[in-house]
């Protein structure tokens, strides 16, 4: 059975004149995007890119990212997007891990990425530089050939373009997405083109329910599973428009996008919704075009979702997905929103909760969440042990603790390795953080395991202040009063530490393992 390629599914008939991409001052129609994709494929063909060969992409969210991502897979090769927000050392680590000899690189990244490389690029042989600057001269690195993409030689494509997927080959690797590193070193989840099509048929069709004229904008970037669906596959597979922005999506930048491009659907992580609400109190946001907002990456605190809907009249649909599953398998729906929950299981996916012994958790009790669906990765790139631990008999271990109520709503209790016991009972950091964030004096918070003077486990809250009129002592007293009124004693933070900022991954997930390390090292 033939599986449509991304090239065929995106550039189908009847779309040529429609707006595919809004980017800076350009409006790019589907026909133009198709021609740019073919040109990118011709450049890669001239470099003898072969089937199954990884090719890395280090580009800002832009039309070039999209055309290169499609072109690489259309040649049968493997696209490997790398997060532009990572340090140069972290980017090089991923580049070496995926064994790519070719990298497509943003010009403004060249100096930091290349000049400090000093022989660490063991496999890289060819750089294709996407130039945004006049008179740009790429730095020289021994053993690496640098070419401006716009001036690179091209070779005509053969009649078999795009490379077809049939039978067993339909599951051949097409792209690798590296995990965000919220719990340590990133791992590369291996996906095929069919996985992309599946998420469009599930989450996109069931939750987004796209309409003609929709314009989608995501503050989460294209190299991540969440952003890739939001800004690439959902709009382009369904013939609507994606809004791309190369700048870091600060509240000011997002506000400008809202005013200029008038998106109808907006995707973000909880932290971004929080920051936008804070900005709105100072400088009002124009959210008049929005009909739907989506949150993922971390559990959305109920207070943030409720405040957003009260303020703008637009619901925020929280859900859960993962790099391993490509996008969301569980979500709230526009007609049925329950803030504080991850919503309900989507059609096309199965989920189960297991206890510590691997047996089914009793009804109504929390358990370790496993999920199953056709968008699951085939494993981790060159990590057989990690693959065996996460992918078991068609099920994927998510690493999350969940509860499911009698109405079928699922509640995130925290990451399995973030939850801890106090007084012999489980404490969910997410639950405690959801209470603390209600306080107007708190901008952000994270709860981790600490130990009291007797060496017994207890909760510790890291707090970023939003109110500078009160002292730390006064704010702490107010937070203790708040938590004592709604939480059992064993869940109330014993210690409070006030910090300037929290460590986040580029996808907006709190890196609690770094906070635990700071406690152990007595660095706070």
Give the CATH number, domain containing residue 42: 3.40.50.980
Considering the domain boundaries, does residue 182 fall inside one? no
Considering the domain boundaries, does residue 95 fall inside one? yes
Query: Is residue 481 located within the same domain as residue 498?
Result: yes
Query: Is residue 398 located within the same domain as residue 438?
Result: no
Considering the domain boundaries, does residue 183 fall inside one? no
Q: Given 3-state DSSP classes, what are the helix, strand and coil percentages for the chain, each rounded to the nearest 5? A: 30, 25, 40
Query: Is residue 99 located within the same domain as residue 16?
Result: yes
* CATH number (domain holding residue 381): 3.40.50.12780
- Give the integer Cα–Cα distance in Å for 336 and 459: 33
Q: Which of 382, 415, 448 is the last residue of a domain?
A: 415
* CATH number (domain holding residue 426): 3.30.300.30
* Residue 24 neighbours by CB under 8 Å, 6+ apart: 246
- Give the integer Cα–Cα distance in Å for 341 and 153: 52
Q: Which two structure tokens, joined as six digits, stand for 269?
A: 């992580």
This prediction's pTM = 0.85
Q: Which two structure tokens, joined as six digits, stand for 111?
A: 């100096």
- Helix H, strand E, coil C: the string for 313-366 is CCCEEEEEECCCCCCEEEECECCECCCCCCEEECCCEEEEEECCCCCECCCCCC
Query: Is residue 398 located within the same domain as residue 445?
Result: no
* Cβ density class 317-328: b for 16+ within 10 Å, e for less: bbbbbbbbbbbb
Closest by alpha carbon to 75, among 109, 102, 107? 102
Query: Is residue 345 located within the same domain as residue 477?
Result: no
Considering the domain boundaries, does residue 129 fall inside one? yes
**Whether the Cβ atoms of residue 273 and residue 303 lie closer than 8 Å to each other:** no
Q: What is the pLDDT of residue 470?
A: 82
Q: Which of 144, 172, 200 is the last residue of a domain?
A: 172
pLDDT tens, residue order, the chain (524 aa) = 677 899 999 998 889 999 999 999 999 999 999 999 999 999 999 999 999 999 999 999 999 999 999 999 999 999 999 998 887 878 888 998 999 999 999 988 877 776 655 556 778 899 999 976 767 777 677 788 888 999 999 999 988 899 886 666 668 999 999 986 555 678 999 999 999 999 999 999 999 999 999 999 999 999 999 999 999 999 999 999 999 999 999 999 999 999 999 999 999 988 899 899 999 999 999 999 999 999 998 889 898 999 999 999 999 999 999 999 999 999 999 999 999 999 999 999 999 999 888 899 998 888 999 999 999 999 999 999 999 999 999 999 998 889 999 999 999 887 777 888 787 677 888 889 989 998 989 999 999 988 888 777 889 999 999 877 789 999 999 999 999 999 988 899 999 999 999 998 766 778 888 898 888 876 44
Closest by alpha carbon to 244, among 224, 268, 261? 261
Class of residue 485 by CB neighbours under 10 A (exposed 0-12, middle 13-18, buried 19+): exposed
Query: Is residue 246 located within the same domain as residue 392?
Result: yes
Q: What is the pLDDT of residue 493?
A: 94
Query: Is residue 213 located within the same domain as residue 346?
Result: yes
Query: Is residue 490 located within the same domain as residue 445?
Result: yes
Query: Is residue 406 located within the same domain as residue 323?
Result: yes
Q: For residue 264, is the peptide bond before it cis, meaning its omega torsion is within 30 degrees of 0?
A: no
Considering the domain boundaries, does residue 106 fall inside one? yes
**Whether the Cβ atoms of residue 102 and residue 55 lie closer than 8 Å to each other:** yes
Query: Is residue 132 located within the same domain as residue 253?
Result: no
Considering the domain boundaries, does residue 178 fall inside one? no
Q: Which of 353, 387, 415 is the last residue of a domain?
A: 415
Query: Is residue 401 located within the same domain as residue 432?
Result: no
- Give the integer Cα–Cα distance in Å for 316 and 281: 19
Considering the domain boundaries, does residue 177 fall inside one? no
Query: Is residue 14 located within the same domain as residue 112?
Result: yes
SS3 100: coil
Write out the residue range of the structural domain in which residue 488 sits: 420-521
Considering the domain boundaries, does residue 503 fall inside one? yes
Closest by alpha carbon to 243, among 183, 289, 305, 174? 289
**Count of structural domains, the chain:** 3
Q: What is the pLDDT of residue 405?
A: 95
**Whether the Cβ atoms of residue 297 and residue 507 lie closer than 8 Å to each other:** yes
């Amino acid at each position: 059975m033939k599986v449509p390629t991304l090239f065929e599914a995106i550039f189908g008939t009847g779309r040529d004149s429609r707006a595919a991409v809004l980017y800076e001052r350009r409006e790019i129609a589907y026909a133009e995007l198709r021609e740019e994709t073919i040109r990118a494929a011709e450049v890669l063909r001239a470099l003898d890119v072969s089937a199954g060969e990884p090719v890395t992409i280090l580009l800002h969210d832009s039309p070039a990212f999209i055309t290169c991502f499609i072109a690489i897979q259309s040649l049968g090769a493997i696209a490997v997007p790398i997060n532009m927000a990572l340090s140069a050392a972290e980017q090089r680590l991923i580049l070496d891990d995926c064994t790519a000899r070719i990298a497509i690189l943003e010009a403004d990244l060249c100096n930091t990425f290349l000049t400090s490389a000093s022989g660490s690029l063991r496999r890289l042989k060819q750089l294709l530089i996407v130039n945004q600057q006049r008179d740009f001269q790429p730095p020289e690195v021994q053993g690496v050939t640098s070419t401006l993409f716009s001036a690179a030689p091209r070779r005509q494509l053969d009649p078999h373009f795009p490379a077809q997927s049939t039978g067993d080959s339909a599951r051949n690797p097409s792209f690798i997405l590296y995990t965000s590193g919220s719990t340590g070193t990133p791992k590369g989840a291996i996906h095929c083109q069919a996985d992309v099509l599946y998420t469009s048929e599930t989450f996109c069709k069931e939750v987004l329910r796209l309409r003609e004229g929709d314009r989608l904008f995501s503050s989460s970037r294209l190299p991540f599973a969440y952003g890739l669906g939001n800004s690439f596959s959902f709009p382009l597979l369904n013939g609507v428009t994606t809004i791309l922005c190369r700048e870091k999506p600060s509240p000011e930048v997002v506000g400008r996008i809202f005013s200029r491009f008038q998106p109808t659907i907006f995707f973000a992580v909880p932290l971004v919704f929080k920051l936008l609400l804070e900005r709105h109190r100072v400088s009002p946001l124009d959210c008049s075009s929005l009909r739907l907002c989506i949150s993922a990456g971390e559990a959305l605190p109920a207070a943030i979702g409720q405040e957003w809907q009260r303020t703008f009249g637009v619901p925020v649909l929280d859900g859960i997905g993962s790099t391993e599953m490509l996008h969301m398998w569980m979500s709230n729906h526009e007609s049925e929103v329950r803030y504080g929950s991850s919503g309900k299981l989507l059609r096309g996916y199965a989920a189960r909760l297991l206890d510590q012994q691997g047996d089914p958790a009793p009804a109504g009790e929390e358990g370790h969440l496993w999920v199953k669906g056709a968008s699951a990765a085939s494993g981790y790139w060159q990590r057989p042990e990690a693959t065996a631990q996460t992918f078991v008999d068609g099920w994927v271990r998510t690493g999350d603790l969940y509860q499911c109520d009698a109405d079928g709503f699922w509640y995130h209790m925290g990451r399995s390795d973030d939850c801890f016991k106090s007084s012999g009972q489980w404490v969910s950091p997410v639950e405690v953080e959801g209470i603390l964030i209600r306080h107007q004096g708190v901008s952000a918070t994270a709860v981790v395991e600490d130990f009291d003077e007797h060496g017994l486990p207890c909760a510790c809250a890291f707090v970023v202040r939003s109110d500078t009129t009160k002292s730390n002592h006064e704010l702490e007293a107010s937070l203790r009063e708040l938590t004592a009124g709604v939480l059992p004693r064993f869940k109330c933070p014993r210690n409070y530490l006030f910090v300037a900022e929290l460590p986040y991954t580029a996808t907006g997930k709190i890196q609690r393992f770094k906070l635990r390390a700071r406690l152990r090292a007595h660095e706070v």
